[in-house]
Amino acid sequence: MELSLVIPVHNEVDNVEPLLDKIYNALEGWDYEIIFVDDGSIDQTRYKIQRCSDERTKLLVLNKNYGQTAAMAAGIDEAIGDYIVTLDGDLQNDPADIPNMIRKLIEEDSDVVAGVRKTRKDGWFLRKIPSQFANALIRKLTGVYLHDYGCTLKVFRQDIAKNLGLYGELHRFIPVLAQLQGAKLSEMVVTHHSRIHGKSKYGLGRTFKVLSDLLLMIFFQKYLQKPMHLFGTTGIITFLSGVGITGYLGMLKLLGEDIWGRPLLILGVTLLLGGIQLITIGIIAELLVRIYFEGSGKKTYRIKEKIVGKNSAEEVS
């Protein structure tokens, strides 16, 4: 099997048939499989897939809406192709770009080729401006210099894709996760279309999630194997600051001044210790989640049903 296409979908019933037509045309002559992951759709998406698919198509039906990261992980786990392609199910990614991306990956001996939506067909306020800000911030803080982290259309070598470790909502940071494995990254300008059917699942509400995940990525990049360099340094600075403050206040006390209940001391100590505790608990909790799932062999999703090819498809209106 040359290619595995992993396509997470959530309420994309009107996009299934035209997307499949585009895939069939773009990949004619290739040996490939298509893996749809129905991430808890409440419309007729799964039945439309069954009706329009052929023997190369697999459909994974998740028992609820887990989110794009878990859906993508489910599809990648199922994939058997030498090269694994991820793309959205909303027709904004163009399957016609896939052959050129694979050729680029082979010619440049890369492990990942990421798509770049140079002429992005989305609104400025809700999509483009937040995306540009996020891309610049991620480049600056992680040192992974790609132009478009949000483009789902990517091509991976199988061994890289299978070991990404996708948890939470880390699909936005796939290039960073791949680099942690030592992957060679490339990028290529791809076609981007306007959404015709359905409704976008993204908005400004994801901004704080991206920032939280970015902090986690920085920790994984710099301190995963040496956390004491982070927590030890912070602890020493905090301790010495405390010594300085209490020493200063002790001197004032010896001079006869009343130091009880000073707002600066209470506020500073509370905010400092509280912030350190919250960040530390968040990182420890993330590591415990990884230990739980990887150590026990459990997944972050549960497949309700797997359908290969056409299997008693129901009529779709």
262 pLDDT tier (thresholds 50, 70, 90): confident
- Does the structure show a pLDDT above 90 at 153? yes
pLDDT of amino acid 234: 74
* CATH code for position 22: 3.90.550.10
- Which is more confident, 294 or 182? 182
C-alpha angle 105-81-189 in degrees, rounded to nearest 5: 30
pLDDT of amino acid 15: 92
Q: What is the pTM of this model?
A: 0.75
- Which is more confident, 203 or 84? 84
Averaged confidence pLDDT in the chain: 82
Measured CA distances, 185 to 108, 149, 224 (Å): 10, 12, 21
Is residue 78 classed exposed, middle or buried when 0-12, 13-18 and 19+ CB atoms within 10 A define those classes?
middle
Number of domains forming the structure of the chain: 2
Segments forming the whole domain that contains residue 114? 3-122+151-200+299-308
- Does the structure show a pLDDT above 50 at 315? no
Is residue 205 in a domain? no
Q: How far apart are CA 148 and CA 143, in angstroms?
A: 14
Alpha helices in 109-206 (DSSP H): 129-142, 158-162, 174-180
Is residue 130 in a domain? no
Residue in 105, 96, 60 with CA at minimum distance from that of residue 78: 60
Is residue 122 classed exposed, middle or buried when 0-12, 13-18 and 19+ CB atoms within 10 A define those classes?
middle
* 179 & 270 share domain: no
Q: pLDDT of 58-109, one tens digit each? A: 999 999 999 889 999 999 999 999 999 999 998 889 999 999 999 999 999 9
* Count of beta carbons in the 10 Å neighbourhood of residue 184: 15
Q: How far apart are CA 101 and CA 186, in angstroms?
A: 9
* 279 & 304 share domain: no
Residue at 161: amino acid letter: A
Is residue 72 in a domain? yes
